Structure 1
Amino acid sequence: MSTKTDDPNRFSLIWFGNLSDKTLSKIKFVNKFENFDLLKEYLNEMKDNSVILIVSNNIPLDTISLTDFPQICAIYNDTFVCFYCLPTMILPVHTFIQNIQDEQSKKKTSSYFFPLIRKYWFIIGLFLVIFLAYLFPNIGKTGGYIRSEWSVKLGCVLIIFFLSGLSLRTRQLVKEILHIRLHLFVQIYSLLIIPFTIYAFSLLLIKLSLNKALIVGIIIMASTSTTISSNVVMTKNALGNEYAALLNAVLGNILGIFISPALILYFLKNPIFDSLSNTTNSDNQLDYGRIIKNLALTVLIPLFIGQIIHLLWTKKVTYIREKFYFSDLNSLALLILVWAVFSNAFATGAFETIHKKDLLILIFINAGIYLFFSLLIILLSRLPIPYWQFSEKDTVAIMFCGATKTLAMGIPLINALYGNANKDLSGILSLPLIIYHVEQLIIGAIFVILLKNWVKKGIKKQNTKLKNQDDLEAAESQTINIESSK
């Protein structure tokens, strides 16, 4: 346990108690637990840390053995009354807690403006980067001042998947691997049902006056795999099965490297799209091998390297992940990628090459696609069929993994398919995916609020049922950690 007095950030603040308690909701805890087994597992992994434990008043203190966990240097209740403190740490612990109380007092007297920004910073960031791309398109465009095709489009994709590989908790994922029924359902829905349904829908759109390149962009968008970061974060925030979401995000992106190009090759063989294919490839064929190579280098290898590092130095990676907020870094890299994509779109005049009417129709079509497939997969997951119906937590993970589409892999896929042969066309093809990604994040944020309340009601109903059966001990052993900080 670290006891250096010159390190102001050496304490890990942990909450143990009822997670629905809102009295300390504004304090940034390293982790929150409502089950002792999960707390014990976490403490065993963080033996080198100095832990300050904030315990809810409804938790008996005799459940915590200080001899088993010497890294616990202090225990406070939720009103900051000290029950225990290591004698050699009284002064630094008191100073640390006093600073927290001072910050709480400032937050209570300040407006809700900054907490609102912190909560919705990603959505705000989306609009900000799009606006900056509109004002200064030459900075982030392909071949621009910073050579975004390398520094951003390649660099950020590598960072996103490398950090995702580092964030994989192998032990928890191994337990989730056996949930084969869930994984098959998600992958079949994401990589087969949605693409073929949208392809059939696109054949109907051809009869309208909608830009044909946009229709192909919709097909490419539907053929991509699920997101690997936003769906996991949203599942976690909605109290869903985050390990199922994480496993399916990785599995979907690995499968997508091979399945997505094959689907697009198959769909574009339709003679309806001959004119578009001829403008991009003189041989009227797409280089399948180059697609696999490019996507493997930017997605699969960074994931693999990140996972190997995580397996070799699990404790150090866990500590670094919590200190540097990997999920936020992942989201920031995604915002930079969106900025580069929009910069290129504005610089090449991609938005000017299509009618405003087509753009408006595309926005409504994409929103309708996401809403339809999200609600459909929830309905299918909850069908009252024996040995089929999934739990509320699993359903949340299924919905976010099944209906979302990745921008991080979609843009490299379009680049691999069309390269630099026709930048204007590549910009148009990217529009459906870009717009879909923005809309799924905005609509998904609303879904998080609704699904979180739904999961909470399910947990309360289950707990009530267990209490009525006088099976409290079994309930405590099966309670799942339903929330943890980033």
Structure 2
Amino acid sequence: MGLVARIRKEWFIIGIILVIISAKVEPRVGLKGGALRPEVTISYVAVSLIFFNSGLSLKTEELTSALLHVRLHVFVQSFTLIFFPFAVWLLLQLLQLTSINQWLLRGLQTVGCMPPPVSSAVILTKAVGGNEAAAIFNSAFGSFLGIFVTPLLLLLFLGSSSSVPFSSIFSQLFMTVVAPLIFGQACRRWIREWLDRKKPPFGSISSVVLLLIIYSTFCETFASSNASIDQLSLLLVCFIILFVQLSFLLLTFVVSSRRVSGFTPADTVAIMFCATHKSLTLGIPMLKIVFAGDEHLSLMSVPLLVYHPAQILLGSVLVPTIRGWMQNRQKAMKLPGLQPI
């Protein structure tokens, strides 16, 4: 029973492993013109479904209480969409002097360009007992900003290896990302009571569709002549990702927990997770659009595939420690002679 419960909890990570193995065994299914017809089902239907699902599930009314906490929002969005990608770019200037696979390194840069996720940062903030409303707002607002900012960052740092013109990239982004998101929000207004009553598994639906996109991406790679991944490069990239996550968690904690920052301990928790987490659900579809036709796309996707489960596992491990710090700080603030942060 314990094993079954564990599998249910980690089914998405297990699913990623299984679809990659399936793509390796029979890549022709997910190739252009294959049985899956990814040029239609993946490029348009699957991506649009993910963002329609996001629009339908996003409870905008829950964000109003956090809307006026402008300084926190500016800090989180500036960190994740400005500081993060530029810091990774500086790190890569050093890493390019090593023998690590260049396409995996380019993939590290794509991770830096991604917006925050809609779910994991909120879940971990709630688990600690932090400012959940701020986490919800920044995850949602960051995802919305990412629709426009992330493609610009990808093109700024990496350029588009696709033959698709710049205008075509953004027209496809609008049709498959922005329009479904808006349509999902519009539909929510009509069926809000039904959604609140039935509580459909929005997260699971998006995850299943995302597995389909990952499968198609790796089918393209394993069918090409560049399917092999240098094991040492992959291992080093995993260590680099862990180093980046720990460093940025520590940096956001040190800056936001200082009394002069004006943030409460609960705010600090939300900042740590929202500013350092990156979205796989939005990231993979955007990479598919911006780097359409690139034979190295799946290699560039690997760091993001590693970063996503790593941020959840690392965050889960740190939850008791961060909760203990927050509770101790909150108790200390209530003692005579200490002013609230």
The reply to whether residue 356 of structure 1 matches residue 231 of structure 2 is yes
For residues 125 and 460 of structure 1, do their structure 2 counterparts lie closer, same or farther at Cα, with a shift above 3 Å needed? farther
- Equivalent pairs: percent with the same residue? 34
Give the superposition deviation at 1:163: 2.0
For residues 359 and 351 of structure 1, do their structure 2 counterparts lie closer, same or farther at Cα, with a shift above 3 Å needed? farther
For residues 327 and 214 of structure 1, do their structure 2 counterparts lie closer, same or farther at Cα, with a shift above 3 Å needed? closer
The reply to whether residue 437 of structure 1 matches residue 308 of structure 2 is yes
- Report the secondary structure of 2:296's partner residue: helix
Alignment of 1:21-40 (within 5 A): none
Q: CA RMSD in A?
A: 3.0
* 1:482 aligned residue: none
For residues 365 and 118 of structure 1, do their structure 2 counterparts lie closer, same or farther at Cα, with a shift above 3 Å needed? same
Aligned counterpart in structure 1 of residue 202 of structure 2, from 318, 326, 350: 326
The reply to whether residue 379 of structure 1 matches residue 254 of structure 2 is yes
- Mapped partners of 1:370, 1:141: distance in 2: 34
Give the superposition deviation at 1:137: 2.7
- Mapped partners of 2:230, 2:9: distance in 1: 35
* 1:150 aligned residue: 40
- Mapped partners of 2:119, 2:48: distance in 1: 13
For residues 373 and 142 of structure 1, do their structure 2 counterparts lie closer, same or farther at Cα, with a shift above 3 Å needed? farther
Give the superposition deviation at 1:191: 0.5
- Mapped partners of 1:142, 1:228: distance in 2: 30
Aligned counterpart in structure 2 of residue 450 of structure 1, from 318, 333, 338: 318
Deviations 1:263-316 (A, max 9, x none): 3333347xxxxxxx7x755xxxx8332232222222222221222222233212
Aligned counterpart in structure 2 of residue 199 of structure 1, from 78, 82, 89: 89
Alignment of 1:378-417 (within 5 A): 378-385=253-260, 388-392=262-266, 394-417=267-290
* 2:339 aligned residue: none
Give the partner amino acid of 1:389.
F
- Mapped partners of 1:350, 1:406: distance in 2: 26
Do the aligned residues in 2 keep the contact of 1:350 with 1:427 (CA within 8 Å)? no
* 1:160 aligned residue: 50
- Report the secondary structure of 2:259's partner residue: coil
Aligned counterpart in structure 2 of residue 124 of structure 1, from 8, 14, 25: 14
- 209-218 vs 452-461, greater mean Cα deviation: 452-461
The reply to whether residue 298 of structure 1 matches residue 168 of structure 2 is no
- Mapped partners of 1:142, 1:398: distance in 2: 41
Give the superposition deviation at 1:224: 1.9
Do the aligned residues in 2 keep the contact of 1:363 with 1:435 (CA within 8 Å)? yes
* 1:418 aligned residue: 291
- Mapped partners of 2:317, 2:106: distance in 1: 33
Do the aligned residues in 1 keep the contact of 2:52 with 2:184 (CA within 8 Å)? yes
For residues 462 and 398 of structure 1, do their structure 2 counterparts lie closer, same or farther at Cα, with a shift above 3 Å needed? closer
- Report the secondary structure of 1:424's partner residue: coil
For residues 241 and 128 of structure 1, do their structure 2 counterparts lie closer, same or farther at Cα, with a shift above 3 Å needed? farther
Give the superposition deviation at 1:123: 2.9
Comparing both structures, which one devotes a greater share of its residues to strand? 1
Q: Which has the higher contact order (CA 8 A, sep 6+)?
A: 2
* 1:231 aligned residue: 121
Aligned counterpart in structure 2 of residue 428 of structure 1, from 299, 306, 325: 299
Give the superposition deviation at 1:453: 6.0
Do the aligned residues in 2 keep the contact of 1:232 with 1:242 (CA within 8 Å)? yes
Q: Which runs of 5+ in 1 are unaligned?
A: 1-110, 270-276, 470-486
Do the aligned residues in 2 keep the contact of 1:290 with 1:416 (CA within 8 Å)? no
* 1:212 aligned residue: 102
TM-score by length of 2: 0.84
Q: Which runs of 5+ in 2 are unaligned?
A: 337-341
TM-score by length of 1: 0.61
- Mapped partners of 2:12, 2:107: distance in 1: 25
Larger Rg: 1
- Mapped partners of 1:238, 1:130: distance in 2: 33
